[in-house]
Structure 1
């Protein structure tokens, strides 16, 4: 699908912890990621680094991947942790080595990059038994938050396409406005 990206001029909204954690808490994200401290993780569509900042203390290294340089500028102003590298790139054509990631997370951004090419690229950069965590706006939502409903996916749709790209789904939950799933490469 791959619709619009979040407007970088509104980046301050991405730092609203009360609103963001209402849909995905730091604890829930870290539970889904299940880090043991030595992982290399990519935060796909990292934006201002809101969730990257939750992940960074729990892992060895994080690539904060965002297609908008303005989001990285915002993150630099805010302060980037030492173990985080900013990568300005879309998901297709990631400048990362094959099998170089232990995990990747997408927090409310999957709908922006969902495509066969992006999923093939994630399969390439994730190592064997690599973890993929996706939390995104559910197609069953009412559209009062997040993108329009017609730009969203259901957890079942994402599960099906991930299976086609060699992922085993380990957890899936669809909530009133969002879904969360974790998959692992074979």
Structure 2
């Protein structure tokens, strides 16, 4: 289960506005703004589609992606001044302990979900900071997104976050996706 990496040669698919059908900018940005997040990391930022939605609301956002080709595409699209691109695996982030006020991921949790990655988030997000995760639901139909066998459920994400000490603020499953908001230990 999990660890599916999006094919960078298909990057143009990540810039389509119909992605808002699965997670809107408002539901992503809202919890981050409400929590006063100023320094955030987009985990699996890809072409910057959702990074660009968060950037106007924070001081700095790190676009983290394991594939440098995605950063190349993001640069071609135009990168906001307050976005810094970081080539890294989520399980080995180049940030100091508590350096981030928050982190978010949109449709990428299945690509990095592991005990090591969640522990790394607990390390780099300051105590009380926010982690906002939206992804394809393991109990979805599989008609969109990665195959169902490569996905996790909201319950899986909640269990992983709680095991690392996070306090889950909200968790919801929708038709094909889930959303989880949690506070760092």
Report if TM-score (shorter chain) is over 0.5.
Answer: yes
Gaps of 5+ in 2: none
**Aligned position for 2:127:** 128
* Match status 1:175 vs 2:174: yes
Give the alignment's Cα RMSD to 1 decimal.
Answer: 1.2
TM-score (normalizing by structure 2): 0.96
- Taking the aligned partners of 1:115 and 1:180, their CA distance within structure 2 comes to 17
Q: Does 1:43 align with 2:42?
A: yes
Q: How many residues align?
A: 185
CA distance in 2 between counterparts of 1:37 and 1:58 reads 9
Partner of 1:93: 92
For residues 140-185 of structure 1, the C-alpha deviation after alignment (integer angstroms, 9 at most, x for no partner) is 1110101100111111111111111010000111001000010001
Name the residue aligned to 1:103: 102
Mapped contact 1:37–1:58 kept (Cα < 8 A): no
Range with bigger deviation, 37-46 or 100-109: 37-46
Q: Which runs of 5+ in 1 are unaligned?
A: none
C-alpha displacement at 1:94, in angstroms? 0.7
TM-score by length of 1: 0.96
Q: Distance in 1 between matches of 2:6 and 2:139?
A: 21
Distance 1:124 1:37 in 2: 19
Runs of 4+ residues deviating >3 angstroms: 35-38
